[in-house]
A and B are shown apart, each in its own frame.
Chain A
Amino acid sequence: MTVSATPAASTDDVVLQAVKLTKHFPVRRSASQLFGKSRAIHAVDSVDIVLRRGRVTALVGESGSGKSTVAKLLSQLERRTSGDIRLHGESVSVHGGRPFRQYVRKVQMIFQDPFASLNPTHTVRYHLTRSLRIHGNAGKSGADLQRALDALLTRVNLTPPERYIDKFPHELSGGQRQRVAIARALGADPEALLADEPVSMLDVSIRLGILTLLRDLKERLSLAILYITHDIASARYFADDTLVMYAGQMVEGGDSESVTQNPAHPYTRLLIEAAPDPDRIEAAEASGLAGDRAAGEPPSLIDPPPGCRFNPRCPYVMDICRVETPQHFVVGDSAGHWAACWLFDASIPKQPETHAPAVQA
């Protein structure tokens, strides 16, 4: 009873797809290990992702779980070790030159830190003009260009455009800078946006503004958006689908409401229980949260534990977890909700106590 994360019904609205994507970073060996087995950090292992037109897919995980590496692989900034990346069903592997430009015209990236991603010596006009020119959207005349620039700034709600167009990055606030970075990405007229923690450097009060803008763009331009975050609560509000990543592997996926309200994998439950919750003041703190039971840290990715990588921390660990990597099992509460956890393998008999209670709403 397994499901493939890449449904066979690959409709034409799939923009970008990763199949069994894997990235190993080699580790330098010391002289004494020279003749031993070469070692590598297993940053991303057999990851499947589907980005569809007009949908936001959230990728949630702790730092070091490999979620940023996934973004770099998808944007072809990093070469994959194995697996495949398909744009509209066609396998793509480019590392520069004209093919790379053609690829980034379709797939653009937004980075975490708008303070670092804009060149401090250039104005907003320069950044946006460059993006338009490089990707052939600047038009033929100066007037065309001006119109395109105005349209870009208006699209990210920096209005009136003339107030922002000749500003330097240091004259803008963090939220405005991130909007310029988004406008620059839109200058290529892309089909997919990869947003790597686009709001984690911003103040809490303006985060929602940026997320609302991205959602709005998704709807108006039918973009496929990958939203990488460590904040699972924002994934619930902003993303249509949510994928949870742990130690380089996908552990759970499905529509955001099911994943956040009825988490299946013990790691997802841990993440959700650990999130700050003001309503918990009176709640049963004493009963002992999974956050305390599953103490410990993510494993070393040089020597990941065999079987399920969460097994050393898992409160429901079974023998099979230490031996065999679980496939994606159907959870059964909603279509497409799966978990890579042996608890959901119907063929394994479970003791009542190993079957974890669902998180109460």
Chain B
Amino acid sequence: MKQPVLEIKNLNVDYGLGDNAVHAVREVHLTLHKGEVLGLAGESGSGKSTLAYGLTRLLPPPGIVAGGQVLYHAPSGDVVDVLRLSDSELRAFRWSEVSIVFQGAMNSLNPVHKVSTQLMDVIKAHEPGLSRDARLARARELLKLVGISADRLDSYPHQLSGGMRQRVMIGMALALEPQVVIMDEPTTALDVVMQRQILRQLVDLRERLGFSVIFITHDLSLLVEFSDRIAIMYGGRIVEEAEAHEIYRNPLHPYSEGLLRSFPALRGPKREVKGIAGSPPDLRSMPSGCSFHPRCPRAFEPCPDVLPILGPPDGYTLDTRTVACHLHPATIAVGAKEPVG
């Protein structure tokens, strides 16, 4: 039985208040299991980054979490709601339980401090008891973990290449051995060769250290290769969630299918590729019913009016596969089992 590490229940995130609020993330239910790589895919504006910031409470104003729960299952067995932590609890929680590698992480390092100073800073803040030598030893260990030789400790960020800076960031995210690492487009700024090296290293590290990963990217072909499960977001909602190879072999939602067919294949026979007609929806004026219906090639009568519920289609259970589409009506909605609150 897979153990959940992070359970997101009915999460809603708005930008702004009142009638003018933009609903960036709506009614998201998502469970991350131990040791799993969960991929979050979608176009820009689909709410995938907002979801990550919402669940770590890093949303910049005017973003607010409008409702829902984020339950974290600590290794000790305690369950805490991240959204209800006090400021000091949150400070202790962040980075030691859940860490995040930001989009364009190579520019997140402070240019005027050495790599060693920045790595030791993290450890110092969370484990003040450790001596300087012990911290230095730990920093050295971290660099080795991500495949950088320890003599780079005294380098400044500008002396490292983009790929090395990205590795330093990943090392820093692993400094306190968190249970969950969130990676927001961790490799978009890198070349394919470097991207592959870093992701393979991450997968190896996960096997050794046993953390779970939420991997956010718009590159679905990358996700299919590197993640266990994939959730696809559109217009702030999850429209399909399933195991990576199932999404790839047999996408049920027309949007997932469209995303998959947007990538020209490098190998095998040339198959016809076509993008998705239209452009991503404007969150300020979302289409009625299923928000994908104006772009959907298979939209039919209920789509413009009725919002499809996210649930398991025929032959699947809540744990294996869910989809929100009238073509594959669900009998039971995700999140319906538990009372919301």
Contact = CB atoms under 8 A, between A and B. Distances in A.
A97 interface: no
B209 interface: no
Interface in B273-288: 273-277, 279-280
A233 B219 contact: no
Contacts of B270: 236-237
Nearest to B272: A237
Interface in B224-279: 224-225, 244-245, 248, 258-259, 262-268, 270, 273-277, 279
B279 A176 contact: yes
Contacts of A359: 267
B248 A233 contact: no
Given A232-B266, A260-B266, A205 B195 contact: no
A357 interface: no
Given A206-B279, A281-B224, A274 B262 contact: no
Nearest to A261: B267
B196 A205 contact: no
Contacts of A208: 262, 264, 273-275
B267 A62 contact: no
B263 A204 contact: yes
B258 A205 contact: yes
A236 B266 contact: yes
B266 A272 contact: yes
Interface string B203-221: 0000000000000001111
Contacts of A12: none
A335 B259 CA distance: 35
Contacts of B276: 205-206
A304 to B, nearest CB: 16
Contact of A278 (B197, B221, B277): B221
A297 B161 CA distance: 9
A175 B279 contact: yes
A276 B221 contact: yes
A193 B220 CA distance: 30
Bin the interface of chain B by size. Answer: 35 or more
Among B163, B191, B259, B268, which residue has the most Cβ atoms of chain A within 10 A? B191
A77 to B, nearest CB: 24
B200 interface: yes
Contact of A277 (B193, B197, B267, B275): B267
B44 interface: yes
Interface in B141-197: 161, 163, 191-197
Contact of A274 (B192, B245, B248, B259): B192
B222 interface: yes
A180 to B, nearest CB: 14
| Best-buried of A176, A234, A278, A295 by chain B (most CB within 10 Å) | A278
B262 A207 contact: yes
A275 B279 contact: no
Contacts of A206: 275-276, 279
A289 B197 CA distance: 10
A292 interface: yes
Contacts of A295: 197
Interface of B: 43-44, 161, 163, 191-197, 200, 218-222, 224-225, 244-245, 248, 258-259, 262-268, 270, 273-277, 279-280
8 contacts: A173-B280, A204-B219, A205-B259, A207-B275, A232-B266, A276-B225, A278-B248, A359-B267
Given A175-B279, A203-B279, A230-B191, 9 more contacts: A207-B262, A209-B275, A212-B274, A260-B266, A276-B196, A277-B225, A278-B248, A280-B225, A292-B200
User: Which 5 pairs, one residue from A and one from B, show the smallest C-beta to C-beta distance?
Assistant: A208-B275, A278-B224, A205-B276, A237-B264, A233-B266
